[in-house]
Structure 1
Amino acid sequence: MPSAGISTPRASTAIHPLLWRGSQLARNCRPGLDTGHAELSRQLPDGGWPLGSLTELLLPQPGIGEIRLLLPALRQLPAQRSIVLLHPPHQPSVQAWQAHRFASRQLLWVAPAHAADALWAAEQVLKQGHCGALLYWASRPPATALRRLHLAAQAGDTAFFLFRPAESARQASPAPLRLLLHPAGDQLRVDILKRRGPVHDTSLLVPLAPSRAAPAAGSIPAFSEPSHAPVDQRLPDAPQPRRTEPVLAG
């Protein structure tokens, strides 16, 4: 029988749900956002994408299927909460998002001129907490900025995804969840580099909707690429996502 004042693992869990053992996946008070991919959800703490936390998705290059990976989760967000696309590699394709059942008014495209402005905008979005998701493409954010963003994310319940180059895997990060993505035909190979739980050293193959299977919703790229359309081309037959320029306080 354990002596008084010494907590057993079961007693520790009962004292506070945020306490967890390294051999178990962490469980927070609120469930994660279901990824829409059963095996991936099973391997993530809280059974899905964390809310109010920094999640890093590391890519060899943009456009390998990272948006299609997130679409099932993004569809679960309330329609009145915006999805912010911050500093994406190309102009968002409104037709693609509409084909995936997203209204153009739900999308907010933020295109800062400088990296420092993008970091500022990301922090403001997270602090305000009104948006359902923030998708931010950043190349080399400083470690201090990553810590600030993670801290800002914890103040709300925004699903926060930071896209970074694959070589960033060698760098330390405050993100509790880090995934390395590689294309594998109509699938993504997902390696879990970091999670709150035991090491996962086996790659996951996550099937994606075919990108060119007309007339399926996945047939239109989420962003206008040079091979598809110029990034500055305005399409008159569809409303464009709202684009904003962050204004720094004077």
Structure 2
Amino acid sequence: MLMSVLSPQSIHSSLWLASQLARGGTRGIDTGFAALSAELPERGWPTGVLIDLLLQQPGAGELRLLGPALQSLAPRRIALVQTPHAPQVIGWRQLGIDASRLLSVHTSTSADAAWAAEQILKSGSCSALLFWQRHLRKDGLRRLHLAAQSGNTLFVMLRPLSCAQDASPAPLRLSLMPAAGGIDIGFVKRRGPQRDDPLFVSLPSLNLLHHASVDRRTPAPAAVGSVLSELVG
């Protein structure tokens, strides 16, 4: 007698084969970039978890990448903790985000910043939390990940690319490197198969509303310019 083979998802939604992306019952927030959303298990940015964005350099295009998702969460507030520079109203407005939605928190120590981020996550008072942090101990990362799981906040940590070598409880870790016309996204960790080739995403300039994404296997030369100062400095 032949035995039927059950798919992992038929046993539990959190199970998947190593050769396929995990597909749980919860759909993430649309990234606004079709090629990127297709590469993410939740078909978008997951909520209620820690997301690690690992930057080759500040201003690689991280805020323009997150812009469509943040815009879709209106009118709820967006928390910005430890931004490298003061938020600029004009830049955020060009991303389609009203500056009145922004809650900027800056502390004198990294420990205080982590505590503030944890309280924001536990309170559920903001639809999204962006937390800039260079280094954080493993127990600190676990605390933040657990706090995120208590709600549905879109929680993104923005850290240097060197942190990719450190362990993290984040189920999604992406590296971002500037490229001509956009960024190259590397999949450091996701619930699914390893992808060795970066995904090129074309980013809009700050005075444009339209954007597109292309799965290009041969990345363009890296761009030198940075737009971070137009948004947070």
Q: Is the 8 A contact 1:86 1:137 kept in 2?
A: yes
Alignment partners' CA distance in 2, 1:119 and 1:188: 28
1:98, distance to aligned residue in structure 2 (A)? 2.0
From 17, 23, 26, the counterpart of 1:27 = 23
Matched, 1:187 2:196: no
List gaps (5 residues or longer) in structure 2. Answer: 211-226
Alignment partners' CA distance in 1, 2:58 and 2:96: 22
Matched, 1:58 2:67: no
Q: Is the 8 A contact 1:122 1:149 kept in 2?
A: yes
Alignment partners' CA distance in 1, 2:188 and 2:11: 29
Residue type of the alignment partner of 2:54: L
* Residue number in structure 2 paired with 1:176: 171
1:196, distance to aligned residue in structure 2 (A)? 0.4
Q: Is the 8 A contact 1:56 1:161 kept in 2?
A: yes
List gaps (5 residues or longer) in structure 1. Answer: 225-250
1:17, distance to aligned residue in structure 2 (A)? 1.4
SS at match of 2:175: strand
From 27, 32, 44, the counterpart of 1:48 = 44
Q: 1:199 to 1:59 in 2, by over 3 A?
A: same
From 67, 71, 75, the counterpart of 1:75 = 71
Q: Deviations over 1:94-139 (max 9, x none)?
A: 1211233222221100111110000001111111112111000000
Alignment partners' CA distance in 2, 1:118 and 1:77: 23
Residue type of the alignment partner of 1:159: L
* Residue number in structure 2 paired with 1:136: 131
Alignment partners' CA distance in 1, 2:16 and 2:121: 26
Percent pairwise identity:
47
Alignment partners' CA distance in 1, 2:42 and 2:124: 20
* Residue number in structure 2 paired with 1:9: 6
TM (norm. structure 2) is: 0.87
From 112, 121, 126, the counterpart of 1:117 = 112
SS at match of 2:232: coil
Q: Is the 8 A contact 2:64 2:95 kept in 1?
A: no
* Residue number in structure 1 paired with 2:223: none
RMSD between aligned alpha carbons?
1.9
Q: Is the 8 A contact 1:96 1:217 kept in 2?
A: no
Alignment partners' CA distance in 2, 1:150 and 1:72: 23
SS at match of 1:46: coil
The total of aligned residue pairs comes to: 216
Q: Deviations over 1:48-73 (max 9, x none)?
A: 11111111000122112110011011
SS at match of 1:206: strand
Alignment partners' CA distance in 2, 1:38 and 1:190: 14
Q: Is the 8 A contact 2:93 2:99 kept in 1?
A: yes
Alignment partners' CA distance in 1, 2:187 and 2:9: 25
